Amino acid sequence: MTRFANVIAIFVVAQAIFFLMLVHGLSKLYLPAGAILVVLSVICALFVASGRSHPVYRLAWVTVIMLLPIFGGVVYIFYNRRNFDRLVEKSHHRCLKRAQASLSNAAAPPLPDKTSELICAYLKNSVGFSPAIAHDCRYFAVGEEKIAHLLDSMEKAKKYIFLEYFIIEEGLIWDRIREVLARKAAEGIDVRLICDGAGCLYPLPWGFVRSMAKLGVKVRMFNPVRWFVSARINARNHRKIASIDGKVAFCGGLNLADQYANVKEMYGHWKDSGVMVDGDTAWNMTLLFLSMWEFLSKGKEKVDYAEFMPDDMCADA
């Protein structure tokens, strides 16, 4: 991961240097263009200072803009992720709204205390999903336990296997998971994978998407890293969820790599945790995956959420 972080850092610095040289050269060649850039920087500084964002965020950007008056405003316009995030949020929110129509109609479980009520209210307001019932919930204290149960559940899949992870790395764990995915896809099961474009940039080989497609596994990358100036480079998807038939789902802090299951030790014994749930909770996580899948299609695909609903939920609906 250290080498990967170094690659990303070099890439970011290279982008910044290229952009600054471009704008600086423009301002030196054309005096009117330089004056326009200075005015733009002042306007941006006033706009940022009068905003409602966190004071630390505003102070950081105003400092950059005023220290670099020639191109500070342009840097802000290109690299201010908040403008990009608003567009992303609107697009993803539309997909979530469609997914919410397929939520279970089962009554929400009783909440034990005020703190739980506040947490659930926050989740409801931010994502639109109410608390759901899981008849079985298992906690895994280490990655070895979670991976073992994930593989077992994947072997029992009848309709589909959906995986969404920030990091997937070549190794023993991924070899075992890929073998199951390929075999299940050959049986006609719908197998889909979402992985982050930066989290998987270094660990996975070039041509990964094509190689998985040959195995019958559909793959979509969240915000793949592009080799040009981009304001999106730090917009990442850190989800680690899996859904099997909408009946069983997994989440937690574990990625699909050997170190998370202590097959190899990079920084000593890795202590992380995971959870396996079923029932309405598993279905909710399936909807989260499908809404992200639809979002990544960029309007080219509309998911029929009812098609993936477990049979027992269809009977209740």
Q: Kind and range of the H or E element at 135? A: none
Residue that terminates a domain, selected from 79, 96, 116: 79
- Contact indicator for 7, 233 with CB cutoff of 8 Å: no
Domain identity same for 62 and 114 = no
Residue 155: is its pLDDT beyond 90?
yes
Residues 95 and 64 in one domain: no
- At 167, is the secondary structure helix, strand, or coil? coil
The pairing of beta strand 190-196 with beta strand 218-222: parallel
148 and 290 fall within a common domain: yes
Range of the domain at 309: 84-316
168 and 62 in one domain? Answer: no
In what side-by-side order are the strands of the sheet with 240-244? 137-140, 274-278, 248-252, 240-244, 160-165, 190-196, 218-222
Same domain, 33 and 112: no
Taking 80 as the threshold, does the pLDDT of residue 313 lie above it?
no
| Mean pLDDT over the full length of the chain | 82
Q: Are residues 62 and 158 in the same domain?
A: no
**pLDDT at residue 5 above 60?**
no
Q: Are residues 221 and 182 both part of a single domain?
A: yes
Q: How confident is the model at residue 221 (pLDDT cuts 50, 70, 90)?
A: very high
For 80-107, write each residue's pLDDT tens digit: 655 555 656 777 778 888 888 888 766 6
- Mark whether 158 and 201 lie in a shared domain: yes
Tens-place pLDDT, residues 118-131: 888 888 887 777 77
Number of domains in the chain: 2
Q: How far apart are the first and last CA of the chain?
A: 46
Predicted local confidence at residue 213, as pLDDT: 95
| pLDDT number for residue 3 | 53
Are the C-beta atoms of residues 109 and 133 closer than 8 Å to each other? yes
Last residue of a domain, one of 35, 62, 79: 79
